[in-house]
Amino acid sequence: MPINSRILNLMEEVRSGRCSPEEAADHIGGLRLEEIAGVARLDLGRSIRCGIPEVVLAEGKDISHLIEIMRRYVEASGRCVASRATEEQADAIMNAASDLICEYYPEARIVILSNGTEKPENGGTVGIITAGTSDIRVAEEARIIAEEMGCRTLTAYDVGAAGIHRLFHALKELGDADAFIVCAGREGTLPAVVAGLVDRPVIGVPVSVGYGYMGKGEAALASMLQSCAVLAVVNIDAGFTAGAFAAQIASGVRKE
């Protein structure tokens, strides 16, 4: 049952006297807002509920603030992901948190900190495809997030530029995927091509490559939204959202 039952539990605690009305009122305010309107994406309760890792947007944060937040999350849930991290931030985190396990994925711009807690596993598989090499940084962000959420990932990168045979071959292996992420810039037609070849949901990710009129992923966004193919779309370069959305799909797929 996805809708959380914490309010009901809290009521029980109030009734039983384990919790005062004041404490409960405070807690409810926090709980509910926390889940609403997207402002509370990183709250500590999330990973407990649904296996989504704690994700901190590193971009623009100063190092000490960043490390403090990440440590707090690791204490609460064992693992924490920092997205859009610069190399400087990654180095600083590694140095400052030498007591923890730190993984750095430069292409994905992601740093993962953990106290040894393993990633969850849900048996789902996400297939990730890119049209060109410039799209890989976005695909990698999606991949790390999907894996942190417990999915296996299969990738086929640069299927446009460096030999289309790889797509066909990769699609055979990716045939096991429960959801597909397809990243493409310029006119962004690859997601629709893939959607015509597979039976599972395809998420299009416009990538900010391409110059001139509607360049930088805008034409790709437009053509994915206008596509006749059955396709859902995320924001330009939104690897995190694509990865988490695909993992949500994949985590629920039945395997007979």
Per CB under 8 A, does 71 bind a second copy?
no
- Binding to a second copy in span 129-148, by CB under 8 A: 131-134
The region of 5-13, 85-93, 94-102, 111-119 touching a second copy under the rule CB under 8 A is: 5-13
Helix-helix angle 6-16:21-35, to 10 degrees: 180
The least CB distance from residue 191 to a second copy, in Å, is: 9
| Binding residue (CB under 8 A) for a second copy from 18, 39, 116, 142 | 39
Contact 156, 129 (CB under 8 A): yes
Looking at the Cβ atoms of 37 and 88, the one nearer to a second copy is 37
Per CB under 8 A, does 36 bind a second copy?
yes
The least CB distance from residue 63 to a second copy, in Å, is: 13
Q: What is the distance of C-alpha 236 from the center of its chain?
A: 14
Looking at the Cβ atoms of 55 and 90, the one nearer to a second copy is 55
Looking at the Cβ atoms of 50 and 94, the one nearer to a second copy is 50
* DSSP codes joined into one string, 67-113: HHHHHHHHHHHSEEEEES--HHHHHHHHHHTTTSEEEEETTTTEEEE
CA torsion sign for 162, 163, 169, 175 is positive
The region of 85-93, 96-104, 109-117, 128-136 touching a second copy under the rule CB under 8 A is: 128-136
Type of residue numbered 252: G
| Binding residue (CB under 8 A) for a second copy from 88, 98, 118, 165 | 165
Q: Which distant-in-sequence residues (6+ apart) come within 8 Å of 190 by Cβ?
A: 129, 131, 159, 160, 182, 184
Looking at the Cβ atoms of 100 and 221, the one nearer to a second copy is 221
Looking at the Cβ atoms of 16 and 116, the one nearer to a second copy is 16
Per CB under 8 A, does 40 bind a second copy?
yes
Type of residue numbered 139: A
- Binding to a second copy in span 170-209, by CB under 8 A: 171-172, 175, 178-179, 184, 186-190, 192-193, 195-201, 203, 206, 208-209
Give the pairing type, strands 101-105 and 110-114. Answer: antiparallel
Total residues contacting a second copy by CB under 8 A comes to: 120
Cα distance between residue 77 and residue 237, in whole Å = 28
Per-residue tokens: 83: 């997205």
The least CB distance from residue 112 to a second copy, in Å, is: 18
Q: Which distant-in-sequence residues (6+ apart) come within 8 Å of 127 by Cβ?
A: 153, 154, 155, 156, 174, 176, 177, 179, 180, 181
Per CB under 8 A, does 48 bind a second copy?
no
- Binding to a second copy in span 212-251, by CB under 8 A: 212-215, 217-238, 241-242, 244-245, 248-249
- Binding to a second copy in span 79-118, by CB under 8 A: none
